[in-house]
Structure 1
Amino acid sequence: MTERAVATGTPARAPIRWQVGRLVERRVETPSAHTLVLEVPDWPGHLPGQHVDLRLTAPDGYQAARSYSVAGPVVDGPGGPRIEVTVQRVPDGEVSPYLIDVYGPGDPVEVRGPLGGWFIWRPEETAPVQLLGGGSGIVPLMAMIRARRAAGSKVPFRLLYSVRTPGDVIYGDELRRRVRDDFGLDVAYVYTREAPEGWRGEPHRIGLADVNTHGWPPDLEPLTYVCGPTGFVETVADLLVGLGHPSRRVKTERFGPTG
């Protein structure tokens, strides 16, 4: 299995239509978050930060669709292109519990995408990048981190990741490896409910000191991406602008409780 070259421009425009993807692999990231590897034969390619819609159809014809960020570059599989999405279970949701607890190898799911043209990072960019994620908001940010490595980019990245507890860290092992192996990538955490043993400080919500310490100064004109629940995104965006980052350089993506 080899990775395709990361796109350096907007994928060729074509009508975005529903097509059938099938599950070929599942990785358990946390007890409530799984990465699904889907084989999508006619996938047109995507940029880091874009998302897809997944749609399920019940035997009685009822349909439910949800949006999920693509978690990394396209990979060539024996049956065609493969994409990854990471799904966080939402209690009482219609789609996420099925995808995590029921959806099995070879099962179909309708896929539409790629979608979104604002919250993207292009590997030819040269400005420093700061990524601020809350919970499963790490997913499109991880896509950017993976794309940076795949493209051989030397652009410095800083990730500030806010989670409730150490057990809620998605991609924890991979992030540790990438900090070790990907020169120019720094990762810092904020724990809001429970910190790991030996952690300096107390659990707290992300604040000015965190953003100021672990981000880039405004005079470097970094590209900034913020993703997470609405309250997290609004708080962080306000902190960044208050520190002097131009709002035009701060891109945000938020999600609600539907699942």
Structure 2
Amino acid sequence: MTEPPPPLPWTAWREATITAVAPITPRVKSFRLAVDFADSVRAGQHVDVRLTAEDGYQAQRSYSIASAPDGSGTIELMIEALPGGEVSGFFAEVAAVGDAIELRGPIGGAFVWGPEDGGPLLLVGGGSGIVPLLAMLRLRARVAPEIPCRLIYAVRTRAEAIALAELEARARDEPGFGLSLLTTREGAARRIDADAVAGALAGLGDPARVFVCGSNPFVAAASELLLAAGIAPARIRTERFGG
């Protein structure tokens, strides 16, 4: 019997096939990709995606993985169409089921969570920064629902909130999980502030792990608020999505 080849290291570029495409918000689409490392992904990791034009020109972008290992042999990326984005433009306008793309991963070892890390767990996301946090929420719900968890999610409008129906269903149906949605450009137009942090902590207690993801300004502001609330710096992990 022939032994299967050893798995490729994360540094190797490999081919992945798009198996499903679905709209998430007016600017974000979900892409399911068949990959050979799906079961080894840790919640919070990302992949690099590379596109190569016929003339050899290459464009590369990193995307967080929204899914947690589920035995399907696939990972899910949620990709936002950005103005002038070479890679995101391809996914928004061209990519279709059956297409093959190059990627490498999974990447990242600091911004990850698993049930062995315990809780309580506080997640703080801004805009598309929800994506790696969504992987953590999905993993918790499947293998460690007893771990208390709260999510503070800041987004411009409800229509732009990624996976909002899923998040609200989890808040309604999952004991031990709470959601605080802050819309910055509609309704009360509230940004993340000390009261939002205090409200999450009041229902959670002292968090053992805190993950913050979003734009540079959002992560900076949220981190300052968390520290001011008395959370030890060693418990806070951050990931920034630029601008």
TM-score, normalised relative to structure 2: 0.92
Deviation of 1:218 after TM superposition, in Å, equals 9.8
Structure 1 residue 166 corresponds to structure 2 residue 158: yes
Aligned mate of 1:233, from 201, 219, 223: 219
Instruction: Give the direction of change, closer, same or farther, for the CA distance of 1:153–1:103 in structure 2 (3 Å limit).
Output: same
Tell me the matched-pair count.
237
Q: Quick one: distance in 2 between partners of 1:243 and 1:17?
A: 42
Which residue does the alignment assign to 2:60?
65
Residues of 2 paired with 1:75 and 1:219: CA distance?
30
- 1:173 is displaced (CA, Å) by 1.1
Shift, 1:143, TM fit? 0.3
Shift of 1:75: 3.9
- SS of alignment partner, residue 103 of structure 1: coil
C-alpha distance in structure 2 between counterparts of 1:13 and 1:21, whole Å: 13
Distance (whole Å) between structure 1 residues aligned to residue 162 and residue 191 of structure 2? 18
Task: Report whether the alignment pairs 1:156 with 2:151.
Answer: no
Partner amino acid for 1:32? R
**How many percent of aligned residue pairs carry the same amino acid?**
39
Superposed, 1:39-188 pairs within 5 Å as: 39-41=34-36, 43=38, 45-77=40-72, 81-188=73-180
Report the CA distance between 1:15 and its aligned residue. 5.1
Q: Tell me how far apart the structure 1 counterparts of residues 10 and 118 of structure 2 sit (CA, whole Å).
A: 31
Structure 1 Cα separation of the partners of residues 34 and 193 of structure 2? 40
Per the TM alignment, residue 74 of structure 1 is displaced from its structure 2 partner at its CA by: 2.9
- Unmatched runs of 5 consecutive residues or more in structure 1: 1-11, 196-201
Q: SS in structure 2 opposite 1:124?
A: helix
In structure 2, what is the equivalent of residue 191 of structure 1? 183
Determine which structure has the larger helix proportion and give its number.
2
Query: Aligned equivalents of 1:247 and 1:107: distance in 2?
Result: 43
Shift of 1:150: 1.8
Q: 2:31 aligns to what?
A: 36
Q: Which residue does the alignment assign to 1:3? A: none
Distance 1:74 1:122 in 2: 11
Mapped partners of 2:37, 2:211: distance in 1: 29
Q: How far, CA to CA, are the matches of 2:36 and 2:109 in structure 1?
A: 22
Q: Structure 1 residue 13: deviation in Å? A: 9.4
Question: 1:216 Cα deviation (Å)?
Answer: 5.4
Greater mean alpha carbon deviation, residues 174-183 or residues 20-29: 174-183
Partner amino acid for 1:114?
P
> What is the one-letter code of the residue matched to 1:18?
W
- Secondary structure, counterpart of 1:21 in structure 2: strand
**Mapped contact 1:130–1:216 kept (Cα < 8 A):** no
Runs of 4+ in 1 over 4 A off after TM superposition: 216-219
Q: Retained in 2: the 8 A contact 1:39–1:82?
A: yes
Cα distance in 2 between the residues matched to 1:42 and 1:116: 14
Q: After superposition, what is the alpha-carbon deviation per residue over 1:169-191, rounded to whole angstroms, capped at 9, x for unaligned?
A: 10011112212222211011111
Determine if the alignment matches structure 1 residue 210 to structure 2 residue 196.
yes
Query: 8 Å contact 2:120–2:204 — kept in the other structure?
Result: no
Contact 1:16–1:113 (8 Å) recurs in 2: yes
CA distance 1:190–1:42, shift in 2 (3 Å) = closer
Write the distance in 2 (CA, Å) between the matches of 1:13 and 1:150: 28
CA RMSD of aligned residues (A): 1.9
> What residue identity is the alignment partner of 2:173?
D
Cα deviation, 1:70-112, whole Å, max 9, x if unaligned, reads 10123444xxx21111111111111101112110111111110
How far the C-alpha of 1:255 sits from its partner, in A, is 0.7
Contact 1:123 1:153 in 2 (8 A): no
TM-score between both structures, scaled by the size of structure 1: 0.86
For 2:204 and 2:136, the matched residues in 1 are separated by: 21
Q: Is the 8 A contact 1:218 1:245 kept in 2?
A: no
